[in-house]
Structure 1
């Protein structure tokens, strides 16, 4: 996988969460220095800043199976 700029840097696109997506190397090379529309391609989803929250349970309590590895103070 590679990082693709939705609006290419050559067209003024910035390296931000809202302008970067993951793309396979072949698709990124095909798109080249064009927007998805110019390359006749479409995004699978709109770019967005990832959230770290999915790594944790909704209650923010450690999983029971982790208890023996976690010390409480």
Structure 2
């Protein structure tokens, strides 16, 4: 009878340990998912900013290079 109780306790202990490991893996994956979503949002905002900054910089460069003085510049 003692062997049966020890075997039953071992099975219960293994089941509880496996359940704890599954819970821990779920917590880690949820944290990793939140990190990935946050990182994607930051990178999307950065891409939008860089696109806008590049476009405005190109526009400023184009306007500055297309500008000509009204009078001839003396050398």
* TM-score (normalised: structure 1): 0.23
Q: Which structure would you say has the larger Rg?
A: 2
**Which gives a bigger RCO, structure 1 or 2 (Cα 8 Å, sep 6+)?**
1
Instruction: Give the number of the structure whose residues are more often helix, by fraction.
Output: 2
Q: TM-score, normalised by structure 2?
A: 0.22
